[in-house]
């Protein structure tokens, strides 16, 4: 009924990084890049105008025949949604073209209602027109659609009175009942209760059997095998594998199966490689990326270092062992795997003061988790005061899984009478206990400083931020020495998948009420005679605390 042909499609987005903060972050990125070594084609290229070019898709060629059911898999940021949007005509490609035949139906985009004041039926009419369909193609079957969604009685009620999932159900049903030529599903099918989802899966199969083409983009592989017979694997905007579902899905699951990885890391990392692991590893070896990461520009001394942000520890099983095997496969002369403390981003704040360093001190064995049990976790914030008598405020934020969990301010700004380095300690453990949080996974701590000269008031407050950008204060370094050419061995996919997390600017912070700050010690490093005081009339109280 419907086919699609994608020819040389690439998609580039421009991102503007104009703010002061974005610039500093870029500088930080550059530092990291130096250590990684220049790869000939990087995902991000800085444009001469300061704009960043992000290639979401690169040279995609794909032919999907009528009646095919194809799964597009890949981790977040691999370009699945962009591909689906281009197929739906919502986003246009930067180069290349897509040809196809048959009504395209992006199933997930139907989910939000448009008229809260209108009834479900009127919204279906809107949907029909928005999809450019012939009159009646959806409306004529409204009754059937409503009964499929189990909403016969609510069809003529106002959508504003629906619950969140009700409209999603109705629109999903509408999409399935309008005889689509090409069905696009992005990020799996969500919404609705389990029985409804089961009905949707059955109906989807029926629609595909009747000849519709299905393109199903997803990160997780559950119930894909029964639905799709072909799998296309995207990574950093490129197709790295295009095989039958039976052959490719196990490999994909081995590399990117989140649930599996999470469970195993909760049970504790396996110390030894088992037979299964080796087998799995061999399978991985068969999956190659299509480009030579180090091939075109071998480092001058035949030496390269690879840095992985350690949030990825838990996502790739036995990372170090795998790295070692990779190095062996590269036929290198020597290979060395070390862990070294991550260097932190430093914020310069003019001539008043600077946030020198922020460290998380763990005594626990597993730095990936923050727990309040038996593992003293402290944040050390080092502030270098360049000019005396400025008031310094501090805030520590804990961000987990991309959400700001809570934030805490220093109750009063502290005031240093003489220049020097000051270390502030903040106990995260107590904080967690008070918040009744047992464990925090995949976290990030951000310390922000606020400076002012008391004479000036808070108007000319300056803000500096320091990130502890990874979970464990460590990153894995792979140093390998090789004879240049032998490093053209392709880098395995699971290394390719190390992508940066979305930047802070893209997240919306969720501010919580301020908690009391526990200052354990304020230590002055540089000069012993210097004095310390608290600003804003809270001096005595603060000094009591210091004692």
Q: Which of 97, 156, 328, 438 binds other proteins (CB under 8 A)?
A: 97
Smallest distance from the beta carbon of 13 to other proteins, in angstroms?
6
- Tell me which of 23, 47, 63, 99 binds other proteins, using CB under 8 A: 99
Q: Is 505 in the site for other proteins (CB under 8 A)?
A: no
Asked whether the beta carbons of 126 and 141 are under 8 A apart, the reply is no
CA distances from 200 to 88, 148, 433 (A): 21, 9, 44
| Of 17, 37, 67, 100, the one binding other proteins by CB under 8 A | 100
The reply to whether 22 sits near other proteins by the rule CB under 8 A is: no
CB of 17 to other proteins, least distance (A): 14
Minimum distance from residue 208 beta carbon to other proteins (Å): 16
Based on CB atoms, which residue is closest to other proteins, 91 or 479? 91
Contact characters 154-193, other proteins, x per CB under 8 A: ------------------------xx-x------------
For residue 97, the minimal CB distance to other proteins (Å) is 5
Of 11 and 238, CB closest to other proteins: 11
The residues, any chain, with a CB within 8 Å of residue 21's CB and separated by 6 or more, are 465, 505
Nearer to other proteins, 13 or 21 (CB): 13
The SS3 call for residue 264 is helix
**Rounded least distance, CB 134 to other proteins, Å:** 5
Question: Which residues are bridge partners to 239 per DSSP?
Answer: 234
314 to each of 31, 198, 259, 266, 468, how far by Cα in Å?
Answer: 24, 32, 11, 9, 18
Q: Between residue 186 and residue 225, which ones bind other proteins under the rule CB under 8 A?
A: none
Q: C-beta of 141: minimal distance to other proteins in Å?
A: 9
Nearer Cβ to other proteins (41/97): 97
Q: What distance in Å separates the CA atoms of residue 121 and residue 144, rounded to the nearest whole number?
A: 12
Look at strands 104-106 and 182-186 and give their pairing: parallel
User: In the bound complex, what is the minimum distance in angstroms from residue 129's beta carbon to other proteins?
Assistant: 5
Of 56 and 478, nearer to other proteins (C-beta) is 56
CB closer to other proteins, 65 vs 222 = 65
Cβ 172 to other proteins shortest distance, Å: 14
Structure tokens at 307: 């840095």
- Which CB atom, from 171 or from 265, has the smaller least distance to other proteins? 171
Q: How far apart are CA 181 and CA 207, in angstroms?
A: 9
**Minimum CB separation from other proteins for residue 212, in Å?**
10
Please say which residue, 24 or 133, places its beta carbon nearer to other proteins: 133
What gap in Å lies between CA 299 and CA 38, rounded to an integer? 8
Which tokens hold the place of 133? 């369909």
Task: Give, as ranges, the residues between 73 and 92 that touch other proteins (CB under 8 A).
Answer: 86-92
What is d(CA 205, CA 198) in angstroms, rounded to the nearest whole number? 11
Strand 334-341 relative to strand 474-481, pairing: antiparallel
CA distance 240 to 79: 12
Please list every residue from 23 through 42 that binds other proteins, using CB under 8 A.
none
Residue 46: DSSP 8-state: E
Give ∠ CA 206-212-215 in degrees, rounded to 5.
Answer: 100
If DSSP codes are grouped into helix, strand and coil, which group holds residue 31?
helix
Kindly state the smallest distance separating residue 125's Cβ from other proteins, in Å: 7
CA separation for the pair 295, 490 (Å, rounded): 8
Q: Which is nearer to other proteins, 175 or 393 (CB)?
A: 175
C-beta of 92 vs 247, nearer to other proteins: 92
Find the shortest distance in angstroms from Cβ 185 to other proteins.
Answer: 14
**Residues belonging to the chain:** 547
Q: How far apart are CA 246 and CA 231, in angstroms?
A: 9
Closer residue to other proteins, CB minimum distance, 95 or 244:
95
Is the Cβ of residue 18 or residue 351 nearer to other proteins in the bound state? Answer: 18
End-to-end Cα, the chain, rounded Å = 78
DSSP for 394-446?
Answer: EEEEEEETTEEEEEEE-SS-EEESS-EEEEEEEEHHHHHHHTT--EEESEEEE
- Which DSSP state fits 8? E
Asked if 239 contacts 94 with a C-beta cutoff of 8 angstroms, the reply is no
d(Cα 65, Cα 215) in Å, to the nearest integer? 11
Smallest separation, CB 202 to other proteins (Å)? 21
Residue 110: strand pairing partners: none
Q: Which is nearer to other proteins, 136 or 350 (CB)?
A: 136
Size of the site for other proteins (CB under 8 A): 45
Considering the complex, what minimum distance in angstroms separates the CB of residue 240 from other proteins? 23
Q: Which of residues 102-161 bind other proteins (CB under 8 A)?
A: 102-104, 106, 109-110, 112, 114-118, 125-126, 129-135, 137
Among 94, 119, 427, 435, binds other proteins (CB under 8 A): 94
- Chain residues that interact with other proteins, rule: CB under 8 A: 1-2, 13-14, 86-104, 106, 109-110, 112, 114-118, 125-126, 129-135, 137, 178-179, 181
């Amino acid at each position: 009924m419907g086919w699609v042909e994608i020819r040389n499609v690439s998609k580039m987005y421009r991102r503007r990084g104009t703010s002061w903060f974005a610039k500093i972050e870029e500088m930080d990125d550059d530092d990291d890049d130096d250590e990684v070594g220049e790869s000939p084609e990087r995902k991000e290229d800085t444009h001469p105008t300061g704009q960043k070019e992000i290639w979401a898709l690169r040279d995609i060629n794909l032919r999907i025949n009528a009646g095919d059911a194809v799964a597009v898999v890949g981790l977040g940021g691999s370009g699945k949604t962009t591909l689906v949007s281009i197929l739906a005509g919502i986003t246009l490609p930067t180069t290349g073209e897509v040809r196809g035949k048959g009504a395209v139906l992006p199933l997930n985009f139907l989910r939000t209602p448009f008229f809260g004041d209108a009834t479900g039926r009127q919204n279906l009419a809107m949907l029909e027109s928005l999809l450019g369909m012939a009159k009646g193609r959806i409306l004529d079957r409204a009754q059937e659609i409503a009964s499929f969604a189990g909403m016969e009685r609510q069809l003529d009620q106002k959508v504003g009175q629906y619950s969140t999932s009700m409209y999603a159900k109705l629109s999903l049903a509408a999409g399935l009942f309008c005889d689509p030529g090409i069905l696009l599903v992005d990020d799996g099918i969500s919404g609705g209760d389990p029985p409804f989802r089961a009905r949707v899966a059955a109906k989807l199969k029926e629609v595909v059997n009747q000849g519709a083409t299905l393109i199903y983009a997803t990160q997780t592989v559950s119930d894909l095998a029964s639905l799709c017979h072909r799998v296309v694997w995207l990574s950093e905007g490129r197709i790295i594998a295009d095989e039958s579902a039976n052959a490719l899905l196990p490999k994909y699951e081995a590399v990117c199966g989140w649930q599996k990885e999470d469970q195993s890391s909760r049970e504790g990392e396996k110390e030894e490689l088992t037979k299964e692991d080796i087998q799995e590893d061999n399978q991985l070896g068969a999956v190659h990326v299509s480009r030579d990461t180090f091939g075109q520009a071998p480092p001058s001394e035949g030496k390269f270092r690879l840095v992985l942000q350690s949030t990825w520890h838990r996502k790739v099983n036995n990372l170090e062992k795998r790295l070692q095997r990779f190095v062996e496969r590269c036929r290198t002369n020597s290979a060395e795997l070390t862990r070294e403390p991550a260097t932190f981003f430093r914020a310069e704040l003019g001539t008043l003061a600077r946030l020198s360093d922020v460290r998380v001190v763990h005594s626990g064995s597993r730095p990936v988790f923050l727990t309040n049990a038996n593992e003293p976790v402290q944040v050390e914030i080092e502030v270098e005061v360049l000019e005396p008598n400025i008031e310094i405020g501090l805030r520590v934020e804990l961000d987990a899984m991309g959400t700001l969990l809570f934030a805490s301010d220093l109750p009063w700004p502290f005031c240093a009478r003489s220049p020097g380095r000051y270390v502030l300690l903040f106990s995260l453990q107590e904080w967690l206990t008070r918040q009744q949080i047992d464990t925090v996974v995949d976290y990030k701590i951000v310390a922000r400083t606020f400076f002012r000269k008391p004479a000036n008031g808070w108007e000319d407050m300056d803000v500096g931020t320091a990130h502890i950008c990874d979970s464990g204060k460590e990153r894995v370094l792979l140093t390998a020495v090789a004879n240049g050419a032998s490093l053209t061995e392709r880098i395995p996919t699971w290394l390719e998948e190390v992508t940066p997390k979305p930047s802070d600017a893209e997240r919306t912070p969720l501010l919580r009420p301020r908690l009391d700050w526990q200052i354990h010690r304020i230590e002055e490093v540089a000069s012993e005679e210097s004095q310390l005081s608290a600003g804003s009339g809270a001096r005595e109280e603060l000094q009591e605390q210091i004692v």
